[in-house]
Structure 1
Amino acid sequence: MMGKLLSAEFMKIKRKGIWFLTVLGPIGVVAMQMVNYGVRKEYLFRQNDDRWGYYLDNIHSFTPLAIVLGIVILTSFMSSIENETNAWKQLMALPVSKMGVYLSKFTVLSVLLLISSVLLLLFTLAFGISLDLGGEIPYDGLLKYSFYPFFAALPVLALQLWAAAVSVNQGVPITLGILGVILTYAGYALPDWLIWKWPLLMNDWEEPLINVLLGGGAGLILYAAGMIDFVRRDVK
Structure 2
Amino acid sequence: MMTLMRAEFIKIRRKGFLFLACLGAFGVVALQMVNYGVRKDYLLSLSEDDWSYYLLNVQSFIPIAIVLGVTILTYQIANIEDETNAWKQQLALPISKIGLYTAKFLTVSFFLAVASFLLAIFTFIYGLTLDFTQAVPIKELLRQSFYPMFAVMPILAFQLWLSLVCRTPSIPTTAGIVQFLLTYSAYSLPDWTPWKWVLLPEPRLNVGLGMMFGLIIFIIGIYDFYRRDVK
Tell me the TM-score range normalised by the shorter chain: over 0.9
Q: CA deviation at 1:193?
A: 1.8
The CA deviation at 1:208 is 1.5
Contact 1:155–1:216 under 8 Å retained in 2: yes
CA RMSD of aligned residues (A): 0.8
Deviation at 1:141, TM superposition (A): 0.5
Q: In 1, Cα distance between the equivalents of 2:121 and 2:88? A: 40
- Matched residue, 2:204: 209
Match of 1:119 in 2: 118
Shift of residue 192, structure 1, vs aligned partner: 1.5
Alignment of 1:1-236 (within 5 A): 2-202=1-201, 207-236=202-231
Give unmatched runs, 5+ long, in structure 2: none
Q: Once structures 1 and 2 are overlaid, which stretch shifts more, 178-187 or 79-88?
A: 79-88
1:9 and 1:105 in contact (8 A); partners too? yes
**Count of residue pairs the alignment pairs up:** 231
- C-alpha separation between the residues in 2 aligned to 1:52 and 1:84? 46
Secondary structure at 1:200 match in 2: coil
Moved over 3 A (4+): none
TM-score normalised by length of structure 1: 0.96
**TM-score under structure 2 length normalisation:** 0.98
Deviation at 1:124, TM superposition (A): 0.3
CA distance in 2, matches of 1:60, 1:82: 35
Q: Could you list the runs of 5+ residues in structure 1 that have no partner in the other structure?
A: none
Q: Which amino acid aligns with 1:218?
A: F
Quote how far apart the aligned CAs of 1:87 are: 2.6
Question: Does structure 2 retain, via aligned residues, the 8 Å contact 1:13–1:19?
Answer: no
Deviations 1:44-74 (A, max 9, x none): 0000000000000000000000000000011
* Whole-angstrom distance in 1 between the partners of 2:227 and 2:27: 39
Alpha-carbon offset, residue 81 of structure 1: 1.6
Fraction of identical pairs, as percent: 54
